[in-house]
Structure 1
Amino acid sequence: MHHVPRPALTAAVALASALALTACGGSGEESADAGAQQTLTVWAMGTEGEKLADVAKTYQQAHPNVTVQVTPVGWDVAHQKLVAAAAAGKLPDVMQMGSSYLGEFADMGALEPVDTGAFKQGDFFPAAWNQGTYEGKSYGVPWYVDTRVLFYRTDLAKKAGLKGAPATMTDLRKAAEAYQAKAGAKWGLSIQPSGLDAVQSFYPFLYSAGGAILDDGGKPVVNGPDAVKALEDYGAYYAEGLSDKTFRPGYDVTKDFNTGAVPMFFGGPWMVGLLNDNYPDLKGKWAVAPVPADKTSVSMAGGSSLTISADSSHKAAAKDFIAYLTDAKGQADWYERTKDLPANVKAWEAGTLATDPNLTVFRTQMENARALPAQPKLTEITSKVDEAIGSVTQGTSSAKEALDKAQSAIAGLVG
């Protein structure tokens, strides 16, 4: 784990109040002019937190009055740190927000609504914009996106007598059987059987079947017929021995993909780089394809938004910095540094993003990917679905019983 330095908040907060200029009229909040001498405090998570400091240096060269102080925060402690800072009234000016808890902070009034005159919804993937929206108001500007597509071994597919990628969910199950029977694979498909975030493995099945956890209005619908059918389909991989029912925390699927023990898995964009870097001999023996269609081909949308603290006295500078990070140029630069997929659609029009066939599959999948509507208790809501998945894959419950149980638990958690 990376050492996470303690945020140097007090100095920044003192400086902020000393420099703040009283706004005329309006909400009576004090906010410094964007060009004034000031320090902007920024929290970002994981790898993003580490890489953002370099971008901040470049930004400072063009904005000499603004000192951008980036604090990297580990994802494992991010939620508790944000909650504690919000309670103490000491949130940074700008913070990266994972989609699962934006609703919680918007609900407590800790976030400044997005200036929709400066940031245009149409510039971003629909699912990315929706993740930053709570109760009809936008609180987060999309920073990067994430979705899952199918990775499969093309050389072993030939051995198994398969032509191309599985186009439907029925094809996917048949392909898993063929890889096992004819291409020596130990498992047909890697999907997570239980544990935290098993729901992320389940989304392609759920959404493609036409199911959802919450409808667009935020009402729980996880025991609807489409969702039940999707979980039955998911459970069949375990009942038929096509997927491993043992949950291994921290499991790295790329090792088994390399040996051929696992010929197919659903993965995010970072997996492309991992495979290229760690298994160069595998080049030309694997490909990515869209999620196989049931009713349609729909995957999950993930990623992060950038938000401004409602209490910040540097809102103008914060807005300027976020604009720099989320315009097409800033997004293309960020992709080169991190391989995070741009949320801004215009960033995809040039360079590697426009020409790489693997990236094209991710882009197409993002166009109609789905995100859960923001809710204050989203992490608890999805954990109820994790439990339902586990009980089905371990054979202790039918899909219907498991989802009925999840539905009633989620009904008690919805705002």
Structure 2
Amino acid sequence: MKKRLAALAALALTMTACTPSTSAPSAAPSDGGAKTGTLKVWLFDEPNRAPKEKVVGEAIAEFKAAHPGADVDVQYIAVDTRSERFKGAFNDPASAPDMVEYGNTDLPEYAAAGGLADLGPAVSAWSEGGDLTADAKATATYEGTLLGVPWYVGVRALYYRTDLFAELGLQAPKSQAELTQAARTIRAKKPEMFGLAVGGKYTYAAMPFVWDAGGEITAINSPQARAGLKAYTDLIAADNCPPQNCADLTGGKTVDLFASGKAGMGILGNFNRAAVDAGAAKGKYAVIPLPGSEPGSVAPAFAGGNNLGIMKNSRRPALAADFLTLLASKKYQIKMYEAMGNLPTLKSASDEVAAKDPFVKPFVDTIAAGTKFVPLNPGWGKVDSGAVLPTMIEKVATGKATVDQATDEAATQIKAALGS
């Protein structure tokens, strides 16, 4: 308890130093704002929210029991419109939440907007703060300042239907060539299904193909990037996942396809486990790292994940820090893993779930093989919110542009947004 109080005091001092006087907490800044009242919290919605909501509800009950007079109002916001919601919150502190969940790709944009509090002192004083790995903390750090607590890390791997593979005499693919052949075999033998669900608007399923070919986001029109994009978009075809069905598929819709039994394979995250287990594919699938072009290799995955942060203008920063450290604790990281498949960021929690659940191994192996990330540039938000990459993929998939035309257009937009 003393360590948690120290963390709250450290955060309160940090917030006092950096919060404009026009938006000071309602109580004396030295005590970290009001100690009662309602915390406003924004968390991301999910394709299947119920398991997440249950765990968060347990944390709220524990928090309220320890904080008489305090309450937590959680609003689940749509991921697709988060950028607009956060911009509004940064521009209107009076209606902004106290605590937020945000994607690590959003960090540069939100850091540039100046809307997030420095959590460095609070995390240093938090009893479990030292258990965060350096790599995890890096996903919440911008120009040396820790602007969040990594809540979970996420990578994508290949989910495949074991029953279907057994029926068709297929082996788990060990290369990109074997993957594409298996996808087309499934489609040919089971025309009511898609072989590998691939979405024209599913950026982080397409990028492993680009990265595996040696391409990069900042040089998306390079020969290597174009080769990788072609390998991916060639799968959005009648012999696997027809454009009329798949050109506008997002990541969430791809999860739904696999979970409902309409696809033999899908490139999904560890964090999609609960959604898959809620569907027809439950108990009929296995996971392996997404194969690369070289036999036995692993295609680089996007190192995703979400952070928990506190708004700089929170009127209850100490209460917000207390709820944040509770929700980010080992206890609740393990609960979130059990509910959602979210990989913990605290090493002790990660070690514990890996030891008792074989499901973790392919994702751990994927991370060990090497991951990629988006450019740490404030302009990345413009690339993301402008749907530059999914538009590029969709144009190729629908035949509206050639690979060369689409990548040239995207490269121009990326260069303008990043200022490079």
> Which residue identity does 2:277 align to in structure 1?
N
* Bigger share in helix: 2
Q: Please provide the CA RMSD for this pair.
A: 3.5
Gaps of 5+ in 1: 1-21, 214-219
Change (3 A) 1:411 1:259: closer
Change (3 A) 1:400 1:152: same
Match of 1:27 among 17, 22, 27: 17
Tell whether 2:372 aligns with 1:363.
no
Per the alignment, in what secondary structure is the counterpart of residue 237 of structure 1? coil
Q: How many Å separate the matches in 1 of 2:91 and 2:256? A: 43
Q: How many Å separate the matches in 2 of 1:24 and 1:297? A: 41
Contact 2:156 2:302 in 1 (8 A): yes
Tell whether 2:205 aligns with 1:201.
yes
Contact 2:192 2:262 in 1 (8 A): yes
Give the equivalent residue in structure 2 for 1:154: 162
Contact 2:153 2:344 in 1 (8 A): yes
> Which residue identity does 2:365 align to in structure 1?
T
Give the equivalent residue in structure 1 for 2:323: 321
Q: How many Å separate the matches in 2 of 1:275 and 1:312? A: 37
Contact 1:49 1:73 in 2 (8 A): no
Q: How many Å separate the matches in 2 of 1:357 and 1:111? A: 37
Contact 2:16 2:29 in 1 (8 A): no
Q: How many Å separate the matches in 2 of 1:53 and 1:277? A: 20
Q: How many Å separate the matches in 2 of 1:381 and 1:258? A: 30
Give the equivalent residue in structure 1 for 2:7: none
Q: How does 1:248-259 map to 2 (within 5 A)?
A: 252=253, 257=258
Q: How many Å separate the matches in 1 of 2:33 and 2:17? A: 21
Q: How does 1:261-280 map to 2 (within 5 A)?
A: 262-279=263-280
Change (3 A) 1:144 1:70: farther
Change (3 A) 1:96 1:161: same
Give the equivalent residue in structure 2 for 1:188: 195
Give the equivalent residue in structure 1 for 2:400: 396
Change (3 A) 1:129 1:399: farther
CA deviation string 1:18-75 (max 9, x = no partner)? xxxx9699838663436983444432232456753431220232x3357242331321
Counting aligned pairs with the same residue, the percent is 26
Change (3 A) 1:52 1:134: same
Tell whether 2:77 aligns with 1:74.
yes
Tell whether 2:102 aligns with 1:104.
no
Q: Post-superposition shift, 1:271?
A: 4.0
Tell whether 2:124 aligns with 1:117.
yes
Q: How does 1:154-233 map to 2 (within 5 A)?
A: 154-163=162-171, 165-182=172-189, 186-193=193-200, 197-213=201-217, 220-233=218-231
Change (3 A) 1:54 1:373: farther
Give the equivalent residue in structure 2 for 1:234: 232
Q: How many Å separate the matches in 2 of 1:264 and 1:86? A: 40
Tell whether 2:371 aligns with 1:381.
no
Q: Post-superposition shift, 1:263?
A: 1.4
Q: TM-score, normalised by structure 1?
A: 0.78
Match of 2:308 among 303, 306, 309: 306
Q: Post-superposition shift, 1:260?
A: 6.5
Match of 1:344 among 334, 346, 354: 346
> Which residue identity does 2:165 align to in structure 1?
A
Higher mean Cα deviation, 340-349 or 302-311? 340-349
Per the alignment, in what secondary structure is the counterpart of residue 263 of structure 1? strand
Per the alignment, in what secondary structure is the counterpart of residue 371 of structure 2? coil
Contact 2:300 2:366 in 1 (8 A): yes
Higher mean Cα deviation, 115-124 or 315-324? 115-124
Q: How many Å separate the matches in 2 of 1:144 and 1:177? A: 34
Contact 1:101 1:374 in 2 (8 A): no
Gaps of 5+ in 2: 1-11, 20-27
> Which residue identity does 1:89 align to in structure 2?
P
Q: How many Å separate the matches in 2 of 1:254 and 1:106? A: 31
Contact 2:196 2:263 in 1 (8 A): yes
Q: Post-superposition shift, 1:230?
A: 0.6
Match of 1:244 among 239, 242, 245: 242
Q: How many Å separate the matches in 2 of 1:121 and 1:97? A: 22
Give the equivalent residue in structure 1 for 2:288: 289
> Which residue identity does 1:123 align to in structure 2?
L
Give the equivalent residue in structure 2 for 1:5: none
Contact 1:33 1:317 in 2 (8 A): no
Q: Post-superposition shift, 1:340?
A: 3.2
